[in-house]
Amino acid sequence: MTTTHVKNADWMIAWNEGESRHEYLRGADLVFTDDRLTFVAHGYRGPADREIDGRGRMVMPGLVNIHSHPASEPFNRGLMEERGSPRLGMSSLYEYMLLVRPDEDARRAAALFAVSELLKSGVTTFTDYSAARAGWLEDLAASGIRACLAPSYRSARWFTRNGHRVEYEWNEAAGREAMSAALEIVDSAVKHNSGRLFGMLAPAQIDTCTEELLLASAESAKARNAPVQIHASQSVVEFREMTARHGKTPIQWLADIGFLYDGAIIAHCIFVDEHSWIRWPYKGDLERMAASGASVAHCPNIFARRGILLEDFGKYRRLGINIGLGTDTFPHNFIDEMRWATVLCKVSAESVEATSLGDVFHAATVGGAKALRRDDIGRLAVGCKADLSLVDLTHPSLQPVRDPLKSLVFSGLERAITDVFVDGRQVVADGAVTTIDVEAAVRELTRGQAKALEGTSSADYAHRIATEIFPMTLPMRN
Ligand SMILES: [Zn+2]
C-alpha cells in the first residue's frame, strides 16, 4: 500500500454528493492510498509515503472524454481543419475523411500521441472509438490512461462518386461478424489485468447499421452493463437519408426501434428536428432524448470548423439530457474543447446566459462518467478512483487567479496542468508524459501521414492529388 498526501492545496474542486455538484475548497488536503481517494477535506493528520506541497496548486478531478478517434484523427492535422463539402451539408465525412488511410504501425503511434495530448490536458478516462487495431489493449494499458474501448462496426459503408450524392454499400453479414469480434474485445478489456480498461458497444453510424444490428448492440450492452454509442444526427445528409428511409427523424427512429435508453450515447445529436438548417415540420427530438435518459457526446470543435453548431447546449441541459464531452478531432486537448463548448453555446444561443463554465465542467467530469455508467470517476470524493490533476496556479497565463477554473479554461489552457494521476499512478510529471515515448510516436505519425497522402488520388472520386484536395494556407513561393 502506498499513500500520497497533497497537503494544503490552495484550491481544490471537491464533489458534494448530497448536492450533486462540484465545489471549490481552499487550503484542503487530498489523500489517496493506491488507486482510491481516502481523504478530501481540511486537516489530514494521518501517515503518508509521499507528500506533495499543495501551495500554489489546484487539485482537479480527472476529466472524462466520451468520444475520440485517436488512431485516425492525428493524421488530419494540417489537412482537414478547413475542409468540408458545401454540397453535403458542410460535412467532411463523405468526400474527405476517407482519403487519408494510414498504415497499421502509424495508427498505433497516432493513438499513443493522442493519448499523450489527452493526459497533458488532464483527461484520465477516455473513449477510444476506433476500428480494432493490433496491440490495442496492451498499448492503452501501458499508456497509463483509463480507457473505454469502443471497437466500431457497421453493416454498410458510405461513398460518393461525385461529391454531391452519398451512396451506401451494404454487407450485413460482415457487420454481424465485426460485432462478434468487437464483443470479444470489450469482454477482454474488462478482464485486463491493468484494471483500467473497459468497453462499450459501438455500432458506427445510424445510417450504416441495420435495425437488427442496432438492437443486438443494445441487448449486448445491457447484458454487460456497458454503454452503447452511435454517431447520429451528425449531418444534414444523414438526417435527409433517415427521413427518406423511414419518414422519421434519426432520433425519432432510434426511439421507436427501442435503441434510446439510459445506457445509450448519441454522438453528436446536432441535427435534431429543431435545428435551424433542418426545418423539419414536427418537433420532439430533444424531449425524446430527455425522456429516454440517453446521453449526448458533445464535440463542438470539429463541427465549428465547418460552420456547424449544436444549437444551445443549455437547452439540452435544461431539458435534463445528460451531456458528456469528447474530442472528436485533434488537438486532443480537452481544456480547449471545454472552451469551445462554453463559448459556442453562448454564440449559437445568442445569450451569455445560455450556459456556464460550471455546466461545461459538470459535463466534462460527472456527465461523462454517467454516460460511461460509472460513479467512481470524474469527481474527488472518498472511495472514488485516484484520477486527478494538479494545476500550477503560479503560471503567468493564469494570473490573477481569482477563479482558477476560469483562469484555466479561458486563459491558460493545458499549459498550467503539471501533474496527472490515474488510478493513483503518476502519468504526467512537471508537464511531461512519463508513460509514452512521445518523440517516437511523432516520428511515426509524420511518416504515416506523408505515406498516406501519396494515396489520395486513387481514393478520391475525382483523382485529385493531396495538394489539390488539401491546399496550403498560403501559396508556396517557387
Ligand atoms: Zn466521431
Strand 123-130 and strand 63-68: the pairing is parallel
pLDDT mean over 40-44: 98
pLDDT mean over 352-372: 97
- Separation of CA 454 and ligand 1 centre (Å): 25
Tell me the one-letter amino acid at 258: G
- Separation of CA 154 and ligand 1 centre (Å): 14
- Separation of CA 205 and ligand 1 centre (Å): 9
- Separation of CA 230 and ligand 1 centre (Å): 9
- Separation of CA 69 and ligand 1 centre (Å): 7
Query: pLDDT, tens digit, for every residue of 147-166?
Result: 999 999 999 999 999 999 99
- Separation of CA 246 and ligand 1 centre (Å): 24
pLDDT tier at 450 (50, 70, 90 boundaries)?
very high
- Separation of CA 178 and ligand 1 centre (Å): 18
Look up residue 227 and give its three cell numbers.
454503454
Query: pLDDT, tens digit, for every residue of 102-133?
Result: 999 999 999 999 999 999 999 999 999 999 99
pLDDT tier at 66 (50, 70, 90 boundaries)?
very high
Question: Could you identify the residue written with the cell 472552451?
Answer: 339
CB 433, CB 116: distance < 8 Å: yes
pLDDT mean over 436-441: 98
- Separation of CA 204 and ligand 1 centre (Å): 9
Query: pLDDT, tens digit, for every residue of 7-21?
Result: 999 999 999 999 999
Q: What is the structure's pLDDT at 299?
A: 98
Q: Is the pLDDT of residue 313 over 90?
A: no
How many residues make up the chain in this entry? Answer: 478
pLDDT mean over 126-141: 97
- Separation of CA 267 and ligand 1 centre (Å): 7
Phi (first) and psi of residue 464, to 5 degrees: -80, 145
Query: pLDDT, tens digit, for every residue of 171-216?
Result: 999 999 999 999 999 999 999 999 999 999 999 999 999 999 999 9
Q: What is the structure's pLDDT at 425?
A: 98
Q: Angle at the Cα of 84 (from 83 to 87), degrees rounded to 5? A: 145
Sign of the C-alpha dihedral computed for residues 244, 249, 252 and 257 taken in this order: positive
Q: Report how far apart, in Å, the C-alpha atoms of 371 and of each of 57, 169, 377 are.
A: 29, 31, 11
- Separation of CA 128 and ligand 1 centre (Å): 10
- Separation of CA 452 and ligand 1 centre (Å): 20
- Separation of CA 130 and ligand 1 centre (Å): 9
- Separation of CA 448 and ligand 1 centre (Å): 21
- Separation of CA 326 and ligand 1 centre (Å): 9
Q: Is the pLDDT of residue 226 over 90?
A: yes
What whole-number percentage of the chain has pLDDT above 70?
A: 100
Query: pLDDT, tens digit, for every residue of 392-422?
Result: 999 999 999 999 999 999 999 999 999 999 9
Residue 441 β-bridge partners = none
- Separation of CA 9 and ligand 1 centre (Å): 37
pLDDT mean over 55-65: 98
Q: What is the structure's pLDDT at 401?
A: 98
- Separation of CA 129 and ligand 1 centre (Å): 7
Beta strands in 172-261 (DSSP E): 197-199, 202-203, 228-232
DSSP H helices, 374-437, are 404-406
- Separation of CA 328 and ligand 1 centre (Å): 5
Q: What is the structure's pLDDT at 312?
A: 86
Query: pLDDT, tens digit, for every residue of 458-468?
Result: 999 999 999 99
- Separation of CA 364 and ligand 1 centre (Å): 17
- Separation of CA 231 and ligand 1 centre (Å): 6
| Mean pLDDT taken over the chain | 97
